[in-house]
Chain A
Amino acid sequence: MSKQINVALIGNPNTGKTSVFNSLTGLNQKVGNYPGITVEKKEGICKLPRGVKAHIIDLPGTYSLNASSLDENVVIELLLNKNDKDFPDVAVVVSDVENLKRNLLLFTQIKDLEIPTILVINMSDRMKYKGISLDIPYLEEQLKTKIALVSTRKNQGIDNLKELIFNYKDLSTTPCLNASEIDKDYFDNLQKAFPNQLLYKLWLVITQDVNFGKTDRNEIDAVADFKTKTKADLKRLQQKETIKRYQFINNTLKKGQTIDLSTAKDLRIRLDRILTHKVWGYAIFLVILFTIFQAIYDWSAVPMDFIDSTFASLSEWTKDSLPAGTFTNLLSEGIIPGLGGIVIFIPQIAFLFLFISILEESGYMSRVVFLMDRGMRRFGLSGKSVVPLISGTACAIPAIMATRNIESWKERLITILVTPFTTCSARLPVYLIIISLVIPEGRFLGLGYQALTLMLLYLIGFGAALVSAMILNKILKIKSKSFFVVEMPNYKLPLMKNVALTVVEKTKSFVFGAGKIILAISIVLWFLASYGPGEQFNNAEEIVTEKFASQNLTQEELDNEIASQKLEYSFIGLTGRAIEPAIRPLGYDWKIGIAIVSSFAAREVFVGTLATIYSVGSDEEETIKNRMAGEVNPILGGPLFNFASGISLLLFYAFAMQCMSTLAIVKRETNSWKWPILQLVLMSGFAYVVALITYQILI
């Protein structure tokens, strides 16, 4: 058996590189991370003729080999490291027929590395529409390569590409231009000093600020001659190099490409006149947003209810059909509800990514970035922060994952840090029940007080995100080059296959990434709620039975009282009691304390926990509500959930960082515990202070 052919797919963003990857590998792909960093690594297997297999890596999109982001570093690191197990036998550069000129820049750089290279010209089905014709033999000769004309949309040319990959040994490894002419003396000396090294590779190592091949770098720095160039000198040389490459490309295309503008049709101009308009652009964006929200809430409701009830009955079934014991309880009360807590988010996450990937694939997202950049910059954010902030109202987890395309690390970090302030769907059940308890039903200008309160809470969420972004922008001293270049790609009809793959992949990454942590936490919570030290817990049955002996309770009522007693004296109940002094000034009792503590796993646990504490057998909202309304404040008398404590609780939930899964994702995306811990402490601390002041003023 022959060994697999290693193939690296390289290309500019928006060239349909991922579509080519999907066409080559189908479902034979897996997504992971590069070791130590959060850049996604996509690889897959492609079957070539005569039983040969190719191992294909879809490298992050880049405009050149001069890296300006972590994602782009990955590309250079791989291409410069011959010892890497993924080092390509053949590089496939994917270009877009409409942007050939710009795409070829990267191609000429890769040719300079003397790796066998195939040029894919993608979206070839648009050539006629755009009036473009190409002289392929001439281009192949000038570029010293083989060209595959591909249309992933029409599924054309993929077999030809596979054939070329199979025959990679026939490809030329000669560079197509001599870039060292830009400063002959310098490059001659460089080559003399390192006769065994590839000149262009040396040049890349000198000009890049990347961590790869530290040894190479030290080796070069050791020879004093090559430190003589200042940073500015180097940059000027890089500019010269770029001009030189473009000269070559322009000359090649002058002969090899003809564009008949009279037959070219431009949908872009007509669409952009409206979609990026100073007034209409914003109006359309708002309508799209509104539609997406509506859809996420409406469409997810049914599958979410279904998941909820399925897991509830699964848990019930486990309890009934397995022999009673600790393991059964752990399974039915800890693990299964824990898994349910993960799975229940899948519909919202899937729908959100469905819309986001459609907006991205179609090219519209760049227009949103363009429209919003100026406004967001006032808060230390970028136009690219809009998507995560909006996504955050569904769930902060996918929102934080969506920050990856923000180039400036500072802007990205601020976006990650403030996104959890936006009102996510897990806050909604908490808000709804408290609002219905403490806000009167009257109307103001035709709008219900309760609805207005809910709207206000959403606004408070956005406001908190923006204000804290502004503060972080002042405080954080992170040096990161804040430049902003957004390509405005052509509008395209999204390829459903790509959209579907994105949705599946992101959902999977949530379930297996954050899921592990949610599951672990829910098991721990179960233990804390199911065990307790001392008499009051261990003999709960006898104590309660004795206590209510005279009251003639039904067995069910008695069971509820026993469960309530057990919870009160379980570890978690004792924790609630222990923190009571701290939360009493906020107007809460120990029961709310428990609900808050368990809410740190996930906010929506609040309602469920209170349901258990108030020993209501079912989760039915009305019943819980009635019990909550009947609770009496142990010290002041009067209802426990009054206007003051209710508002205080609402604000606490608006600001506090109570979501383990979000913290886990922040840890993964920032690669450090520092930021999630900071979020936890600052947000929750702020929530506490606000809730305290609110309660003390209102009471």
Chain B
Amino acid sequence: MQVTLAHLKRGERAIITDVSSIYIPLKLLEMGCLPGNEVELVQMAPFADPMYLNINGTHLAIRKETAIHILIEITHE
């Protein structure tokens, strides 16, 4: 099974490996959500949605429906 951003737990860090550009708004890419960048889950709202992330130094929140299209590799517990 592929690991996506939606699998990330609070406080965990990961590297973004692939972003499926069809489902991801360009705006998110422009905010730094690109392959190779580091991502950390800062906080989750109830039901793990939306997710509050720190991507490459930018803090932002996205919905789970977007997070499942971002592939990651978990690096740090």
Q: Which A residues form the contact surface with B (CB < 8 A)? A: 63-64, 66, 68, 98-99, 101-102, 105, 232, 235-236, 238-239, 242-243, 246, 268-269, 272-273, 276-278, 366, 369-371, 373-374, 377, 383, 481, 483-490
In the bound complex, do residue A242 and residue B30 qualify as a contact, i.e. CB atoms below 8 Å apart? yes
Instruction: List 5 tightest A-B contacts by C-beta distance, closest first.
Output: A488-B59, A483-B25, A486-B61, A64-B30, A370-B61
Q: How far is the CA of A340 from the CA of B50 in the complex (A)?
A: 45
Complex: how many Å from CA A276 to CA B44?
8
B binding-site residues for A, Cβ under 8 Å = 19, 21-22, 25-32, 34-35, 42-43, 45-47, 49-50, 52, 56-63, 66
Kindly state the separation between the CA atoms of A651 and B28 in the bound complex, as whole angstroms.
45
Question: Which residue of the partner chain B has the closest CB to A99?
Answer: B58
- A366 and B31 CA atoms in complex are apart in Å by 16
B61 in contact with A488 (CB, 8 Å): yes
- A278 surroundings in chain B (CB, below 8 A): 45-46
Which A residues are in CB contact (< 8 Å) with B56?
101-102
Interface CB pairs A-B, < 8 A, 13: A98-B57, A101-B56, A268-B59, A370-B50, A370-B52, A370-B61, A373-B63, A374-B47, A383-B50, A483-B27, A485-B62, A485-B66, A488-B60
Residues of B within 8 A of A246 (CB): 32, 34
**How close is B6's CB to chain A, nearest CB, in angstroms?**
14
Q: Which residue of A lies closest to B59 (CB)?
A: A488
- Which single residue of chain B is at the shortest CB-CB distance from A282? B46
Majority SS of interface residues in chain B? mixed
**Cβ-defined contact, B34 with A242, below 8 A:** yes
Q: Which of B22, B31, B61, B66 is within 8 Å of A102, CB to CB?
A: B31
Task: Please name all residues of chain B whose beta carbon is closer than 8 Å to the beta carbon of A371 when the two chains form the complex.
Answer: 45
List of B residues within 8 angstroms of A101 by Cβ: 32, 56-58
Across-interface contacts of A373 in B (CB, < 8 A): 45, 49-50, 61, 63
Report the separation of the CA atoms of residues A356 and B7 in the bound assembly, to the nearest whole angstrom: 35
* Residue numbers in B under 8 Å from A487 (CB-CB): 31, 58-60
In the complex the two chains form, is A68's CB within 8 Å of B60's CB?
Answer: no
A484 and B22 in contact, given A242-B30, A276-B43, A369-B61 (Cβ under 8 angstroms): no
**Which of B29, B58, B66 sits near A242, CB closer than 8 Å?**
B29
Given A278-B45, A484-B66, A486-B61, residue A232 in contact with residue B28 (CB < 8 A): no
Cβ-closest chain B residue relative to A486: B61
Shortest distance between the CB of B41 and any CB in chain A (Å): 12
Apart from A483-B66, A488-B42, list 11 A-B contacts with CB within 8 A.
A66-B27, A68-B25, A238-B29, A239-B26, A239-B29, A370-B61, A374-B47, A483-B25, A485-B27, A485-B28, A485-B61
Measured between beta carbons, the chain A residues less than 8 angstroms from B61 are 366, 369-370, 373, 484-486, 488
Q: Closest CB of chain A to B63's CB: distance in Å?
A: 5
B21's contact among A98, A236, A370, A484, by CB below 8 Å, is which?
A236
Cα–Cα, bound, A370→B45 (Å): 7
B59 touches A489 (CB 8 A): yes
Known: A366-B61, A484-B62. A374 touches B21 (CB 8 A): no
| Nearest-Cβ distance from residue A256 to partner chain B, whole angstroms | 15
- B contact residues around A105 at 8 Å (CB): 30
CB-defined contacts of B27 to chain A, threshold 8 Å: 63-64, 66, 68, 483, 485
Beyond A246-B34, A374-B45, whether A102 also contacts B58 by CB under 8 A is yes
A589 to B42, CA, bound (A): 61
Q: How distant is B3 from chain A, measured CB to nearest CB, in Å?
A: 21
Tell me the minimal C-beta distance from A686 to chain B in angstroms: 32
Which A-chain residue is minimally distant from B42 (CB atoms)? Answer: A272
A407 to B5, CA, bound (A): 23
Contact B31 A235 (CB under 8 A): no
Bound-state CA distance A366–B59 (Å) is 11
- How far is it, in angstroms, between the C-alpha of A490 and the C-alpha of B60 when the chains are bound? 11
A272 contacts B32, C-beta separation under 8 Å: no
Most buried by A among B25, B35, B49: B25
Chain B residues within 8 Å of A242, by CB: 26, 29-30, 34
How near does chain A come to B14, taking the closest CB pair, in angstroms? 18
Contacts of A269 in B (CB 8 A): 42
Docked pose: A273 CA to B42 CA in angstroms: 9
Residues of chain A within 8 A of B28, CB atoms compared? 483, 485
B49 shortest CB reach to chain A, Å: 5
Could you tell me if A484 and B50 are in contact, using CB atoms closer than 8 angstroms?
yes
Q: Which chain B residues border A481 with CB–CB below 8 Å?
A: 25
Chain A residue with Cβ nearest B36: A243
Bound state CA distance, A280 and B58, in angstroms? 24
* Nearest residue, chain B, Cβ from A259: B57
